[in-house]
Structure 1
Amino acid sequence: MRRFYLAGFLLLMAFDTLSQLSFKLAGQHALPVAANLAWVLRLLREPWIYGAVLGYLGAFFTWMSLLRHAPIGPAFAASHLEVVSVMLLSVWLFHEPLTAPRVVGAAAIVAGIVCLGLAEAREAHAIAGEPVAGTA
């Protein structure tokens, strides 16, 4: 079951990252923005719009599959890992600065997910009556 969770969350992160980066690229290619039909038609010719739609559809179906099996607390937290992946890829692809507040925020997200995962594992062991490492 661990492999299912790991593969599922990696797939969810990949789809979410694809959609966020695709929207960013579509937005860059949509400039200058104009409130007219010609602009909408120009936007619909951008492949990045379809990458964003594909990413959201993939994320939706992956998330629905994960929710059937994964504990909701860690699942919800892990679903936000794309914030970290988008930040890191934006540094590389868009030359955005990697500032100290961003690094601290990313570390807080990862730490929160780890804490929720450990708490969920301890609870599962307690329910099963198994000894939990680090407790007396």
Structure 2
Amino acid sequence: MRSFYIIGFLALLSFDTLAQISFKYASIYALPVTFDIAWLTRIFSQPWIYGAFVGYIGAFFTWMTLLKYAPVGPSFAASHLELISVTLFSIWLFNEPLTIPKVIGATLIIAGVLFLAKQEDDDEKIKSTA
């Protein structure tokens, strides 16, 4: 079951990251924002908007599947790992700066996921011995 969780959360992370990065690229190519047919044409003529759709739809179905089997606490925390992957890709693809608050935030997210996973593991051990 552990490999199911790992594969599932890697898929969720991938879909979420694809959606966010694609949406960023789509917004760059949609400029200037004019709220007219020309603007809509610019948006939907770029493949990035479709990458965002695929990412969001894939993330939704992956998330629903994970929630069916995985504990809610660690699942919810792990679903936020995409903030770290999107930050790293944004540094690489969009030349965004890596700042101390981003590093602290990433560290806290990882710590939260690890603590919740550890707590869930401890709870399972207690249940199995009771």
Q: Does 1:70 align with 2:82?
A: no
Structure 1: distance between partners of 2:103 and 2:109: 10
Pick the structure with more helix per residue. 2
In the TM superposition, residue 42 of structure 1 has moved relative to its aligned partner by: 1.6
- CA shift at 1:33, angstroms? 1.0
Q: How many residues align?
A: 130
Deviation (angstroms), 1:95: 0.7
Residue matched to 2:34: 34
The letter for the 1-side match of 2:115 is C
- Post-superposition offset of 1:38: 1.4
- What amino acid is the match of 2:95? H
Matched residue type, 2:55: G
Identity %: 55
Which residue matches 1:94? 94
* Bigger Rg, structure 1 or 2: 1
Matched, 1:59 2:62: no
1:33 is paired with a residue whose SS is: coil
1:43-86 alpha-carbon deviations (Å, 9 max, x no partner): 11110000000000100111111111100000011011000000
Matched, 1:10 2:7: no
Distance in 1 (CA, whole Å) between partners of 2:101 and 2:60 is 30
For the 8 Å contact 2:29–2:42, the answer to whether it is kept is no
Partners of 1:41 and 1:27 in 2: how far apart? Answer: 13
Aligned-partner Cα distance in 2 for 1:8–1:43: 31
Counterpart for residue 49 of structure 1: 49
Q: Distance in 1 between matches of 2:49 and 2:89?
A: 18
The residue correspondences of 1:102-121 to structure 2 (distance < 5 A) are 102-121=102-121
TM-score normalized with structure 2 length: 0.98
Residue number in structure 2 paired with 1:133: none
For structure 1, the 5+ residue unaligned runs are: 131-136
Aligned CA RMSD, in angstroms, stands at 0.9
Supply the AA of the counterpart residue of 1:42: R
Taking structure 1 as the reference length, the TM-score comes to 0.94
1:37 to partner: Cα distance: 1.3
For structure 2, the 5+ residue unaligned runs are none
2:96 aligned counterpart, secondary structure: coil
The runs of at least 4 consecutive aligned structure 1 residues that moved more than 2 Å come to none
